Structure 1
Amino acid sequence: MSEPKRKNRENRQHGDRAAALNLFPLPPETEARLVIYADLLHKWQKTINLVAASTLPQLWTRHFADSLQVQAAMPAARIWADLGAGAGFPGLVTAIRLADVPGVEVHLIESDQRKCAFLREVSRETLAPAIVHQGRIEDILPELAAPIEAVSARALAPVPILLGYAENLLDKGAVGLFLKGEHLADELTDSAALGTFARYEFSSIPSVTSVSARLLVVKARAG
């Protein structure tokens, strides 16, 4: 890569990082952990498809800031479960954001062995309070002994399927926080799932990183 192209890329990355930190100002130690995360992601991306290559120039806004809004919607939660953790969005970012808070556990559930290895390395290098579970969601969730307060997922499955995965946690008081795209309205009117929908209260928050996305908040109805 030529020197002008390299500098241009570095300037774009610096601007993207500044934009993300403008949305979510962070303590220096948290920012430093995310820098480690970003460096490791770029390194591992060369051999594992962790994120779409087209999104790498906007890593800080597209992935880090997008994930930070999940934790910001439920700031008091300390015990999290993240379904289909993938490259760690939003669950590992949540763990890094709460790394200096006592009593935090973020359970990252991912079936892909290589992605689990990546998640464990980032957790180790950043000292994030994340516990990585390799396996299918429906097998891992029933085995979690911790009282889960919040359950998150990003671009994993339609709402009815997410509710099927998380229903036991939601019914015990956990709050669902699911990052969804432009088809959310269609997913919430799926006639095959109306009986399931009746058991929950839904609200949504506009995404700070995409005009077409929303953060869906799900709670079990009282009684």
Structure 2
Amino acid sequence: MSVDNDDRARALRLTPVSRETQERLALLVAELVKWQNAKNLVSSATLADVWTRHIADSLQLFALAPDARAWLDLGSGGGFPGLVIGICLAEQGQGRIHLVESNARKCAFLRHAARVTGAPVTVHASRIEDIVGEFTEKVDVVTARALAPLPILLGWCKELLRTGTLGLFPKGQYLDAELTEASKYWKIQASTVVSVTDPAARILLIREAEQRADT
């Protein structure tokens, strides 16, 4: 599977980064392509547009919290946004991101890609609900991309959000419906930003979420 150079150029126009970071991201893409057939890391239909669909889509999250140093990515899968954020932290020379992924094959790729790119990443081969409590008061930002409906995400992240962690959750065109459903059970302090890669998608920024007493 070849990667479209025009797609790379478009992605870097949308989310500009330094030459050093571009080189690290190119290494990540190369490894993703090598491992894809064996590990099924991302949807094969998105590989031709990997720079826009995955790289730029992840870079925009880092741009929303560029001063954060301690990150947590839930359900990291093929490494988006976790590995991309780790690459951004590598350029800054400080910070670390923890990637939580229960699939052992994907964890092997995450560790390999982190070594190849020099990203400050720690991979946790675990179920989210078994480990997320260990990060309370220890991370600045928690991310989760294409992982679960908002009410489930809030259940996993409630203690993190209670102690000041910022939640950054990319969502698609059905975000309003998810917010309506979640509001039945949660009081949420949140805002949204339109995605730079898809005008129909938004990024949900959650600063606080409190479970309603009557649920």
Aligned to 2:169, the other structure's residue is in SS state strand
Say if 2:135 and 2:160, in contact at 8 Å, map to a contact too: no
Aligned to 1:156, the other structure's residue is in SS state coil
Say if 2:137 and 2:165, in contact at 8 Å, map to a contact too: no
TM-score w.r.t. length of structure 1: 0.90
Quick check: 1:195 aligned with 2:182?
Answer: no
Output the CA distance in 2 between the equivalents of 1:146 and 1:187: 27
Cα distance per residue 1:35-90 (max 9 Å; x no partner): 11001000000211111111111000010000011111111111000010000111
Q: CA deviation at 1:32?
A: 0.6
Identity of matched residues, %: 48
Q: CA deviation at 1:145?
A: 7.1
Output the CA distance in 1 between the equivalents of 2:192 and 2:108: 33
Q: State the structure with more CA Rg.
A: 1
Amino acid at match of 2:75: G
> RMSD of the TM alignment (CA)?
1.7
In structure 1, the gaps of 5 or more residues are 1-5
Tell me what 1:3 maps to. none
- After superposition, residues 66-215 of structure 1 pair within 5 angstroms as 66-144=57-135, 147-190=138-181, 193-196=183-186, 198=187, 200-215=188-203
Q: Provide runs of 4+ in structure 1 moved above 3 Å.
A: none
Give the total of aligned pairs.
210
Tell me what 1:39 maps to. 30
Aligned to 1:190, the other structure's residue is in SS state helix
Tell me what 1:64 maps to. 55
Amino acid at match of 2:200: S
Output the CA distance in 2 between the equivalents of 1:145 and 1:102: 24
Amino acid at match of 1:194: K
Deviates more, 1:19-28 or 1:63-72: 19-28
